[in-house]
Amino acid sequence: MTKMKRPGQNPFHRSRGARGYTIVEALVAGVLLMIGISAAATMSLTMVTQEEISERTSRAMNYLESAARLYEFGMPDDEIEGLLPDEPVVTDLNVIEGVEAVAGVGNMTYADVTVTFQPTSATTAWSAGTWTNGDSSVTRSHTVRVFRASQYMTP
The C-alpha atoms of residue 140 and residue 117 are separated, in whole angstroms, by 6
Q: Is residue 3 part of a domain?
A: no
Q: Is residue 49 part of a domain?
A: yes
Given this model, what pLDDT does residue 154 score?
A: 46
Amino acid at 78: D
First and final CA of the chain: distance in angstroms? 108
Domain total in the chain:
1
Q: Is residue 82 part of a domain?
A: yes
Q: Is residue 4 part of a domain?
A: no
Full domain range(s) for residue 112: 23-151
Q: Is residue 145 part of a domain?
A: yes
Q: Is residue 15 part of a domain?
A: no
Q: Is residue 102 part of a domain?
A: yes
Residue 18, classed as helix, strand or coil, is: coil
Q: Is residue 10 part of a domain?
A: no
Given this model, what pLDDT does residue 136 score?
A: 62
What is the pLDDT tens value at each position of the chain, 155 positions in all? 556 556 656 655 555 555 778 899 999 999 999 999 998 888 887 788 888 889 999 999 999 999 999 998 888 888 998 899 999 999 999 999 998 888 887 888 899 999 999 888 766 555 555 555 556 678 899 999 998 866 554 44
Given this model, what pLDDT does residue 155 score?
A: 42
The C-alpha atoms of residue 152 and residue 155 are separated, in whole angstroms, by 10
